Amino acid sequence: MSLTFYWYPKCGTCRKAKKWLDDHNLAYEAIHIADNPPSESDLKSLYERSGLDIKKFFNTSGQKYRELGLKDKVKSSTDDELLHLLATDGMLIKRPIVTDGKKVTVGFKEEDYEKTWLA
């Protein structure tokens, strides 16, 4: 199983997730989320397969999120509008995102990774 690992190398959570993947010998393609953000259609696919609320895809602690005042916008926008917004800037996207084409995890919680990627 090969994974796609969207990450930002300066992000501590991303580095923890990468170490976890490496420690468990899981093969992945690392994609720098700021330099090569997922397209709107890729984000839609990730969102639909994740089973998560669209709000979980936003990096709510990020500077860009605060600068753009997205807290209220996220509450009142449609999923399509939010996916379009996410696709405009990789720094708006919560990271890391890991997928095998079927399953998706957003962020890093060791127990979620164990359930999803070691099962």
Predicted structure pTM score: 0.94
The long-range contacts involving 7-15, CB below 8 angstroms and separated by at least 24 positions, are: 7/31, 7/32, 7/33, 7/95, 7/96, 8/32, 8/33, 8/34, 8/90, 8/91, 8/95, 8/96, 11/95, 11/96, 13/95, 13/96, 13/107, 13/108, 14/95, 14/96, 14/108
Percent of the chain whose predicted confidence (pLDDT) is above 90: 94
Q: Which CATH superfamily is domain 2-117 in?
A: Glutaredoxin (3.40.30.10)
The pLDDT tens digits for 37-83 are 999 999 999 999 999 999 999 999 999 999 999 998 899 999 999 99
Q: What pLDDT is recorded for position 119?
A: 80
Where along the chain do its domains lie? Answer: 2-117
Give the mean pLDDT of the chain. Answer: 96
